[in-house]
Amino acid sequence: MLIDLTGRTALVTGASSGLGKAVAARLAASGARVAVLARGEDALAAAADAIRAEAKGEVLPIPCDITDPAQRDAAMGQATDRFGAVDILVNNAGSSRRGEVETLTRDGVVEDLDLKLLAPLALIQAVVPTMKERRWGRIVNVSAVVGKAPDGGSMPTSLSRAAGLSMTRTLSRELAPWNILVNALCVGKIKSGQWERRYEASGKAQSYEEFLAPVAKTIPLGRMGEAEEFANAACFLVSDQASYITGAAINVDGGLCPVA
């Protein structure tokens, strides 16, 4: 299926690494103008250069901590000044935060909700007015399978993700009359920066693939996902071809999650 996003403006958070970088690259290669956000300036600039290599559309790196309201507003302003209104928002920035109940702190829970729920909601609030005017919009909230099927010890991530799935469903119904489609992609275990950091922290006594092998064994398809496989799903959801899909929470997990 040929996906053409020419003329669309996209904003992807957490796009300096892993899944967000792969999504931004796929959207740019499909013709979209893409604003890419993350905190680390050097990694973001390097990612933007790599994305530009395959891009048909323009790529604009904007250093931004999405949990900081002033930085978020400034980033949105920069993106729209350069590209015009945002047609496609991919709320992807996030990190893994989980622990046994005794280890949870109020601050940790609040920080996780801020990053994975409240900052994405604020970005959605910023893009909805112009999406309504244009009667076209695509919002993809990157989530995790623990939002549907939490493991023990998976808070606060599982809490934040479950709330994010509720937000996705609520907004899909509220915004449908304006042809603004809101969906979630629930990640299982996909190779990315966070897995590379875990490998580094392990001391690298074995190869990366050997390190990942026990994880891969838990997945029905028998392997970890690749970021590009995730990007394919995201690119489809933001395209015209996905015109009748809203309110969905689609697992991209190699069959891992017991809940569809």
* Pair of tokens at residue 46: 């390097």
Q: Which is nearer to ligand NAP, 38 or 242 (CB)?
A: 38
> Taking CB under 6 A as the criterion, which residues in 129-168 touch ligand NAP?
142, 144
CA angle 160, 193, 230 (to 5 degrees): 70
Question: What whole-number distance in Å separates Cα of residue 91 and Cα of residue 84?
Answer: 19
- Decide whether 65 or 229 has the Cβ nearer to ligand NAP: 65
Binding flag, residue 19, ligand NAP (CB under 6 A): yes
Q: Give the residue with the Cβ less far from ligand NAP, 67 or 179.
A: 67
Between 136 and 234, whose beta carbon lies closer to ligand NAP?
234
- Burial code (b: 16+ CB inside 10 Å, e: under 16) for 1-33 equals eebebeebbbbbbbbbbbbbbbbbbbbbbbbbb
* 14 part of the interface to ligand NAP, by CB under 6 A: yes
Our finding on whether 187 is near ligand NAP (CB under 6 A) is yes
Q: Which is nearer to ligand NAP, 181 or 227 (CB)?
A: 227
Q: Which of 6, 7, 40, 222 binds ligand NAP (CB under 6 A)?
A: 40
9 lies in the binding site for ligand NAP (CB under 6 A)? no
CA torsion through residues 241, 36, 227, 172, sign? negative
**How many residues are given for the chain?**
260
End-to-end, the C-alpha distance of the chain in Å comes to 24
Strands 33-38 and 137-144: unpaired
Instruction: For residue 98, give the DSSP letter.
Output: B
Q: Smallest distance, Å, CB 36 to ligand NAP?
A: 9
Query: Can you tell me the distance from the alpha carbon of 19 to that of 55, in angstroms, rounded to the nearest whole number?
Result: 17
Smallest separation, CB 251 to ligand NAP (Å): 11
Q: Is 143 helix (H, G, I), strand (E, B) or coil?
A: strand
| 193 is an interface residue for ligand NAP by CB under 6 A | yes
SS3 151: coil
Using CB under 6 A as the binding rule, whether residue 16 contacts ligand NAP is answered as yes
Q: Is 218 in the site for ligand NAP (CB under 6 A)?
A: no
Exactly one of 24, 29, 32, 38 binds ligand NAP (CB under 6 A); that residue is 38
Q: Which of 28, 37, 123, 231 binds ligand NAP (CB under 6 A)?
A: 37
Binding residues vs ligand NAP (CB under 6 A): 13-20, 37-40, 43, 64-67, 92-96, 115, 142, 144, 187, 189-190, 192-194
